[in-house]
Amino acid sequence: MKKYFITGTDTKVGKTIFSIALLQFAKKIGYKSIGYKPISSGSKITKYGLRNNDALLLKENSNIKLYYNKINPYNFLDNTSPNIVSKRIKNPISFYEISSKLRNIEKKANWIIIEGSGGWYTPISNIKKFSDWVIKENISIILVVGIKLGCINHALLTLDIIKKTGLKIKGWVANNINKPLIYHKEYINTLKKNLSINFLGEIPYLNILNNIKLWKYINFNYL
């Protein structure tokens, strides 16, 4: 079984885009794949209930189809940190619940992509962080670096913290969330020299995702 937790240097750095690339590749080579978004914020009210766009994209690109609440058990309307909104609406996040949903997914899939919320240290309560659950589950990590001003510092800090957990880190991917900066090449080269883990590829700046083979930008030899 292949199972990866996708974290990022910040929120909105392209965790979902990279997760789609992994799911596309899994489908291409014949894996039974599922994308799992345990916790999401910033959802929309639909006739089916609350729906998060990132979770819907993961569901759409999985080749094993499950009901929405099976792949996104905690889904919040407000676009803010999970610890804040879950407390406000009195819906505490349970590690048991998200682990239980993961056990169910493991029975059906052999390629599982678990997308985090925000960055590595996103809090889910006054005392727990999302990363505490990942450590408990002992899941291999892939780091998505959104290329923007400040990303070098954010990437180095995030990697340093993850290394201290003892979890396996499969590598990092650069995602161009904006049009390339003036010093784009220098940013990428600096990250390559300072992040002492495998470089998995670089996703270009994209206006649309429809019908784009995102997997072709990724080096899967390290996975």
> Measuring CA to CA, which residue among 120, 188, 119, 195 is closest to residue 148?
188
Q: Is 37 a catalytic residue?
A: yes
Q: Where are the alpha helices (DSSP H) in 65-178?
A: 68-71, 82-88, 95-106, 130-137, 151-163
Inter-helix orientation angle 151-163/184-194, to 10° = 20
Cα–Cα dist 170/158, whole Å: 14
Residue 153: both structure tokens together = 């510092």
- Which residue among 2, 12, 15, 37 is the active-site one? 37
Residue 106 contacts residue 6 (beta carbons within 8 Å): no
Cα–Cα dist 199/186, whole Å: 15
- By annotation, the residues acting in catalysis are 37
